[in-house]
Amino acid sequence: MIVSTSDEFSTLDIESMKETGIDVKIFSCIEEVPLSVRKETEVLVTFGNDLNEKNIYDFERLKWIQLLSAGLEDLPFMQLQEIKPVVSNAKGIHTRPMAEYLISTMLYFEKDFNRYSKLKKDKVWDRSVFVGELVNRKVLIFGTGTIGAEMAKVCSFFDCEVDGVNTTGAEHPQFNRAFTLEDGLKNIGSYDYVVSVLPLTPNTKNMFTKLEFERMKKNAVFINAGRGGLVNEADLAHSIEQGQIKGAALDVFVQEPLPKSHYFWDLDNVLITPHMSAKSIHYLTRCKEIFEQNYKHYENGNIEEMINLVDLHRYY
């Protein structure tokens, strides 16, 4: 039995899956899946944040989990390591929308759109201030996977100089050069835009703190579209308030939704978006395509040929 705990698939997506022989029972959330159905579920399609250390055991016949997200931090890893289902994620579908998001946030600061919004509100016509360009801007992207590489490609189109950071410092053709995490943080002061699209792991948690923001250029912008837990939010807010860096564009936060009492709401040079950098009208259709491709391999017993397989012991 194949069960989806998301009802966001369009009618066309569902019909497409049926045409390929995939009969999915659709539920709006995991709480709506009857226990009797959970017990018979062999394939689970989920965003992953609805699974926990208790309800995972309801799926007694579970063999494969297809995630509708790339992030894994909400999964009950210890229990999954015990049960040992195949797990695959939706890595790759975020590349285009997130690359577009990055460029839009960079242009927001270069073209001073925050200032123009204020001028419009005050009905003031003021052409006295020159704005920047992206040409020759230096960009450091933490994360050189599919998302980071696409971001680098788009930045290069605007004639930016783009370097990358990954765990080992492995070179990547889309980046001029690559640093290890440690070296990337040490060299953070050379860049106009510092971008994080890293996953949240024990090694990356609370990685950006007061020290890193103090190292950055005074006119630098920090952009986080990875995970909120990578950043010490109080340190970032203090750095912006004190003018140590120019500002930040934040799509992810330690607590989501961001509480109305949070200090980020009141900081003038912080662009806030509600964890939407990867959202797109094409999102679920791209997920469906990955699922259909993987299902063919799963049905034929060719597990090793499935794409985006997750190593539960490495957390990605």
Tell me the C-alpha distance between 138 and 6, whole Å.
Answer: 40
Q: pLDDT tens digits, residue range 158-181?
A: 999 999 999 999 999 999 999 999
pLDDT of residue 316: 80
Tell me which amino acid residue 309 is.
Answer: L
Q: pLDDT tens digits, residue range 10-57?
A: 898 999 999 989 999 999 999 999 999 999 999 999 999 999 999 999
Cα dihedral 90, 96, 97, 101, rounded to 10, equals 130
Tell me the C-alpha distance between 14 and 7, whole Å.
Answer: 10
The whole-model pTM stands at: 0.84
What stretches in the chain show pLDDT beneath 50?
A: none
Mean pLDDT (the chain, rounded): 96
